[in-house]
Chains A and B, each alone.
Chain A
């Protein structure tokens, strides 16, 4: 060989490179404890949220010294979920929305926790309708329903006042929503009302508006098949409502491409008078979007023609890739962190106290995942620590029990929501949009998806 020195140097370089690559995949606990990576908050949460979590982590680790909790920033995103799962970057414990749990169940992407839930004695405690959403055809359970919400009409009290409207008397019908939206737009120059349109949220909110008007975008045939009913009177009325606000009243502002994050941001910034989303949004609005609490108001979504309020929520689940030891730790965490505060006074008080001490929202209006009595009892326990302005949410808190919660469509939920995004966008950006034709086309495409 001409130059053995060169070969040695190059060989070292090659081994160093391979070694560096191999080191990327190394891991494992050095403390002897079971490391449990759990979802905390979406990126962007304020420092106080992390202080609160830090305190809760210490409380848990004191009670469970053999488990080492590692908080991981997490935000549910359907698009990247499968990749995170396959890539091993998901936390061991995380939450997913009800809407997606069925698909995840079918895909085998959730850990079976039936035995653990039975052992903990929850099976009979849950609201059966909610438990059904996380149970497969064989009766196996794949998650802990931990929080539920109903659709609400959220409004900016300051904009109401600036427009000369009474923030304590929010609109109760869609006609009143339209009238108030126009007044707000005319008097303040801000969007009086707005609706999400992007990243599947357009379809989600159109479905909510449809349900509120007594319509339905899908029929469950009960045999595992579904029929699309997108071209129904409720959806048509919802789109005509938007069309009137946009083209006759000009009360929707100028940005018609908004999704969950951007509409919350716009609302928290005081640029939107009213919008519809889940009743639990207050926590995220103050924690992630810096909402001024005095601006906030919440009422029930207007109901017409025997309609209902679209409900939703999320479930705490365990990654299907973890080993038995980690799974046991995960169940312990879910029970302690999510469930006990719904069932046990001491746990509820400790949770509320910890959150309140870090200025985190306590008392945001929800729907019960167990039953109404247990939910209201837990509110009594934590009453001294409630810090959200529930008096500004009175119309919702008083009115929600009169409304019928309706579950989201189950067949190809997110795909059909995605199909409806352009329909909403078309109505908002094209004055000549033919609503009937748009609905017929979306209906045919949705049925094709459901028939796959």
Chain B
């Protein structure tokens, strides 16, 4: 017996939109008059506020930062064009290699800890019959805590003295006090642990929503065939979640490549540069290295990071396109 992963076409779930009842409009010749007659002006007028806001607050900074990556400026005097100097300076920075490796380390750890955990929790929670809302709220609670507050809270947990919260708990089991943030070896895993705690709730809610869309008939069929819980998860749940899993994976890769808050607030990149990430380096270029601020170098590195992430995303979708739509 083969378990099919495809939902039966004749059984749309309640949340799905109804199929279009009218045929698609005929293609019309697009000229200004017909556009105006077709209500184009009112459409544009309705869109205008959003377009203006987006242009001012979203697109214009992107364009400005690309321009700035070829300039030297202190934001006060007129900027001067320096060609590719900013990119050359960034690429020759001895800290760049450290930052890239640290960011990759964070990303790998975050994927190992942070990617499977929410799936597992969501699957387990979907099996719960009573109090689902309570567990959802409980899982989502860390997301509601403001990130800075969460970091301050975890700083207390990570107190490296034997009387620190985590170290006290370890002490109950005879495990010696750990340095947590105070050692190059343990600092990054400590950051990942907190980041996973902080972000897992959001992912769990998304997976839970996706799980609701899995047709129950599939499980019924699997049960008739005598499938165990593990078989049901492996052959029904995960294939049904495939699309969302692919999206969540690339979103997580993009997010972890831009990790800033945790290293900035927990360790400032220390100890001994063990938690300097690419974004922290960008921040340092712009705000820490010099009072004038090397905004050109900061934006140059930002542009490079954005290009790499865009390429990575494109490659990822190219590679996974066939699987995710199968």
Chain A residues with CB under 8 Å of chain B are 1-3, 6-7, 10-11, 13-14, 16-18, 21, 78-83, 85-86, 100, 103-104, 107-109, 197-200, 253-257, 259, 320, 412, 414-415, 418, 421-422, 425-426, 428-430, 433, 445
B88-112 vs A, CB cutoff 8 Å, 1 = contact: the mask equals: 0000001000000000000000000
- B174 touches A (CB below 8 Å): no
Q: Let me know if B268 and A2 touch, CB within 8 A.
A: no
Q: A11-B45, A79-B288, A83-B293 are in contact. Are A199 and B74 (CB under 8 A)?
A: no
Q: A11-B45, A14-B52 are in contact. Are A254 and B271 (CB under 8 A)?
A: no
Q: A6-B42, A82-B75, A254-B159 are in contact. Are A425 and B272 (CB under 8 A)?
A: yes
- Complex: A314 Cα to B39 Cα, angstroms: 64
- B287 touches A (CB below 8 Å): yes
- Please name 18 further chain A to chain B contacts, defined as beta carbons within 8 Å, in addition to the given A7-B45, A82-B76, A433-B272, sorted by A numbering: A1-B36, A10-B48, A13-B45, A79-B288, A82-B292, A86-B74, A107-B74, A107-B291, A109-B291, A254-B160, A254-B161, A255-B160, A255-B182, A257-B182, A320-B76, A422-B270, A429-B183, A430-B271
What are the residues of chain B within 8 A of A418 when measuring CB–CB? Answer: 284, 288-289
B284-318 vs A, CB cutoff 8 Å, 1 = contact: the mask equals: 10011111110000000000000000000000000
Q: Let me know if A79 and B39 touch, CB within 8 A.
A: no
Q: Let me know if B182 and A414 touch, CB within 8 A.
A: no
Q: Let me know if A421 and B270 touch, CB within 8 A.
A: yes
Q: Let me know if B272 and A6 touch, CB within 8 A.
A: no
B44's nearest neighbour on chain A, judged by CB, is A10
- Complex: A82 Cα to B161 Cα, angstroms: 38
- B37 touches A (CB below 8 Å): yes
What are the residues of chain B within 8 A of A85 when measuring CB–CB? Answer: 75-76
Q: Let me know if B42 and A3 touch, CB within 8 A.
A: yes
Q: From residue 107 to 151 of chain B, which have CB atoms closer than 8 A to chain A?
A: none
Q: A82-B292, A199-B268 are in contact. Are A17 and B74 (CB under 8 A)?
A: no
Chain B residues with CB under 8 Å of chain A are 36-39, 41-42, 45-46, 48-49, 52-53, 56, 74-77, 94, 159-161, 164, 177, 179, 181-184, 267-273, 284, 287-293
Can you list 27 contacts pairing A with B, beta carbon distance less than 8 Å?
A2-B42, A3-B39, A3-B42, A7-B45, A14-B45, A14-B49, A14-B52, A82-B74, A103-B292, A104-B291, A107-B77, A107-B292, A108-B74, A108-B76, A108-B77, A197-B270, A197-B271, A198-B268, A199-B268, A254-B177, A257-B271, A414-B288, A421-B268, A422-B271, A426-B272, A429-B270, A433-B272
> What 5 A-B pairs come out closest when comparing CB atoms?
A10-B45, A86-B75, A79-B287, A254-B160, A429-B271
Tell me if A's interface is mostly helix, strand, loop or mixed: helix
CB distance from A45 to the nearest CB of B (A): 20
Q: A14-B49, A197-B270, A429-B179 are in contact. Are A81 and B291 (CB under 8 A)?
A: yes
What are the residues of chain A within 8 A of B284 when measuring CB–CB? Answer: 418
- Complex: A200 Cα to B290 Cα, angstroms: 11
What are the residues of chain B within 8 A of A320 when measuring CB–CB? Answer: 76
Q: Which among A100, A254, A256, A426 is the interface contact of B291 at CB below 8 angstroms?
A: A100
- Complex: A80 Cα to B49 Cα, angstroms: 31
What are the residues of chain B within 8 A of A18 when measuring CB–CB? Answer: 52
What are the residues of chain A within 8 A of B268 when measuring CB–CB? Answer: 198-199, 257, 259, 421
Q: Which among A10, A107, A425 is the interface contact of B76 at CB below 8 angstroms?
A: A107
- Complex: A249 Cα to B290 Cα, angstroms: 37
Q: Let me know if A17 and B290 touch, CB within 8 A.
A: no
What are the residues of chain B within 8 A of A3 when measuring CB–CB? Answer: 39, 42
- Complex: A86 Cα to B290 Cα, angstroms: 15
B289's nearest neighbour on chain A, judged by CB, is A415
CB distance from A65 to the nearest CB of B (A): 33
CB distance from A154 to the nearest CB of B (A): 22
CB distance from B292 to the nearest CB of A (A): 5
CB distance from A409 to the nearest CB of B (A): 15
- Complex: A2 Cα to B271 Cα, angstroms: 66
- Complex: A307 Cα to B270 Cα, angstroms: 30
- Complex: A254 Cα to B186 Cα, angstroms: 14
CB distance from B34 to the nearest CB of A (A): 12
Q: Let me know if B75 and A430 touch, CB within 8 A.
A: no
CB distance from B282 to the nearest CB of A (A): 12
Q: A85-B75, A104-B291, A257-B270 are in contact. Are A430 and B45 (CB under 8 A)?
A: no
What are the residues of chain A within 8 A of B56 when measuring CB–CB? Answer: 21
- Complex: A18 Cα to B268 Cα, angstroms: 40
CB distance from A197 to the nearest CB of B (A): 7
Residue of A17, A107, A414, A425 ringed by the most chain B CB atoms within 10 A: A425
CB distance from B123 to the nearest CB of A (A): 38
- Complex: A238 Cα to B121 Cα, angstroms: 51
Residue of A2, A17, A422 ringed by the most chain B CB atoms within 10 A: A422
- Complex: A251 Cα to B250 Cα, angstroms: 46
- Complex: A422 Cα to B179 Cα, angstroms: 17
CB distance from B37 to the nearest CB of A (A): 7
Q: Let me know if A253 and B161 touch, CB within 8 A.
A: yes
- Complex: A1 Cα to B39 Cα, angstroms: 7
What are the residues of chain A within 8 A of B292 when measuring CB–CB? Answer: 82, 103, 107, 109
- Complex: A253 Cα to B159 Cα, angstroms: 11
CB distance from A71 to the nearest CB of B (A): 24
CB distance from B50 to the nearest CB of A (A): 9
Q: A2-B38, A82-B76 are in contact. Are A430 and B53 (CB under 8 A)?
A: no
Q: A83-B75, A108-B77, A254-B161 are in contact. Are A13 and B49 (CB under 8 A)?
A: yes
Q: Which among B42, B48, B291 is the interface contact of A1 at CB below 8 angstroms?
A: B42
What are the residues of chain B within 8 A of A197 when measuring CB–CB? Answer: 270-271
- Complex: A80 Cα to B288 Cα, angstroms: 8
B283's nearest neighbour on chain A, judged by CB, is A79
CB distance from A451 to the nearest CB of B (A): 13
Q: Let me know if B49 and A254 touch, CB within 8 A.
A: no
CB distance from A94 to the nearest CB of B (A): 14
Q: Let me know if A82 and B39 touch, CB within 8 A.
A: no
